[in-house]
Amino acid sequence: MYSEKVMECFMNPQNVGEIENADGVGTVGNPRCGDIMKIYLKIEDNTIKDVKFKTFGCGAAIATSTMMTQMVKGKSIEEALKINNEAVAEALDGLPPVKMHCSCLAEEALQAALWNYAQKNQLSIEGLNPPPNYVAEEKGSTEEN
């Protein structure tokens, strides 16, 4: 059901992990399926120097996490914000319709991490809105039980 690209990204995920003392961290839950993604950003001079992710989700979620992190690495914040879920899905040669929502997870997690960065540094970034499914980092937990 998945394209070869998706399977490739799923089998060889890139940028998995954590960044110590990250400049921005964002966790979002997918309201459709309950899956969860966390993004860590290292930002210097308005540029995304490094990005890592952790995902609790399906194959499509892991593949989009990989693809999205690859696409935003080295980009300026403004450029990164232009990369939406459709662009990520397209780069993966498409996703099954029922799996399109999985690609939103990556987009929203990135926005949440950038939002977190902006909050910390009291910046206002044009085009960046408070993410809808934002799980506040202060709680230090995304677990429900």
Residues forming the site for another protein (CB under 8 A): 2, 7, 10-11, 13, 16, 18, 27, 32-38, 54-62, 98-99, 101, 140-145
Q: Are 118 and 125 in contact (CB under 8 A)?
A: yes
Q: Which helix (H) or strand (E) holds 53?
A: strand 47-56
Q: Are 28 and 37 in contact (CB under 8 A)?
A: yes
Q: Which does 105 bind (CB under 5 to 8 A by kind): ligand FES, another protein, none?
A: ligand FES
Residue 22 binding ligand FES, by CB under 6 A: no
From the list 9, 33, 58, 104, the catalytic residue is: 33
Six-digit token string for 51: 């990005």
Around 129, how many Cα atoms within 13 Å sit in the side-chain half-sphere?
Answer: 5
Catalytic-residue membership of 9: no
Taking the least distance from each CB to ligand FES, the nearer of 8 and 79 is: 8
Binding to ligand FES (CB under 6 A) within 59-118 occurs at 60-61, 99, 102, 105
Residue 131 binding ligand FES, by CB under 6 A: no
Burial 108-139, CB ≥16 within 10 A → b, else e: bbbbbbbbbbbeeeeeebeebeebebbbebee
Least distance from C-beta 32 to another protein, angstroms?
Answer: 5
Residues annotated catalytic, as ranges: 33, 102
Tell me which residues touch ligand FES (CB under 6 A): 30, 33, 35, 57-58, 60-61, 99, 102, 105
